[in-house]
Amino acid sequence: MDNHIITILQNFEKPTADFLQGKECLICLETFDLESNKFLKLPCKCSSSVYHIDCILKLLNSGINKNFCPHCKTKYEIHLQQIQTPSATLDQENINLRTRKISHILFIHILINSLMNVVNISLSEDEYHKNVPNIMSKILLICYFGKVLVNCFIVFRLKFDYEKIVSDLNFSYMIQTILFILLIALLSIIKKNYNTIFILSNNVIFCFSDLAFRTIIECKITNRIYIA
């Protein structure tokens, strides 16, 4: 970014030796070295419009809308979409970091969640054949298949956007919470055996692992941003 700004500044008009006579840069208060050629004349062309290129560069990087003559306050065009301050650059790095990490959380969640629901489908089918079939068991089995398809859909439409990823993650959590409630309701009305206990344990272990991974990653993100 700085090299691009310097290139633009170097294209500004160069002051003559007569114009420089007796003048100093109002930013650093130092005189001009005629041989260095590291100075420019701002488009306002006021009596003190000559500055060192490095001084103007520091002024531009000090904040937004700093493209003006320090003497007469006349603004000039710099033709850049945005001049990022160190603070803005740091904020963007933090956003990129959060987006990368939340995408990792989503991928691990989808992997764990899909594996959990595949196990649920297998165990539920066994339980369905062993017990008297009821409408709730059929609905739950269909929902497990549907959740696996939803996971695939989330992965295929994934974009590198923090808000979108968080939205997809929360949507997945909401659906899985509803399925867990349906599972508890179903297990409360059927005969308890090792298979039903294993189904419940499978959901608890996988969900705990998923939430533990997210908690650890988010704590690391918070600590890294705080240290920075």
| Per-residue pLDDT tens over the stretch 132-173 | 456 767 778 888 899 999 999 888 888 778 888 888 989 999
| Per-residue pLDDT tens over the stretch 176-197 | 999 888 888 887 777 767 777 8
Q: Provide the CA 141 distance to its chain's centre, in angstroms.
A: 36
pLDDT at 88: 53
For residue 206, report the phi and psi dihedrals to the nearest 5 degrees: -65, -40
The pTM is what? 0.54
- The number of beta carbons lying within 10 Å of the beta carbon of residue 79 is 9
Contact by Cβ (8 Å): 214, 109: yes
Local confidence band at 7 (pLDDT 50, 70, 90 cut-offs): confident
Looking at per-residue pLDDT, the higher value among 88 and 166 belongs to 166
Mean per-residue pLDDT, 39-57: 85
pLDDT at 223: 73
Those residues with Cβ within 8 angstroms of residue 29's Cβ, 6 or more apart along the chain or in another chain = none
Looking at per-residue pLDDT, the higher value among 193 and 90 belongs to 193
Q: What are the structure tokens assigned to 121, written together? A: 């489908």
Mean per-residue pLDDT, 5-23: 80
Q: Are strands 50-52 and 39-41 parallel, antiparallel or unpaired?
A: antiparallel
Residue that the structure tokens 């295929």 belong to:
156
pLDDT at 114: 92
Q: What is d(CA 174, CA 178) in angstroms, rounded to the nearest whole number?
A: 6
Q: What is d(CA 159, CA 20) in angstroms, rounded to the nearest whole number?
A: 55
Per domain, the residue ranges of the chain are 2-61, 86-227
How far CA 100 is from CA of 58, 104, 116, 150, 166, in Å, comes to 32, 6, 24, 22, 12
pLDDT at 18: 82
| Per-residue pLDDT tens over the stretch 107-120 | 999 999 999 988 88
DSSP 3-state assignment of 51?
strand
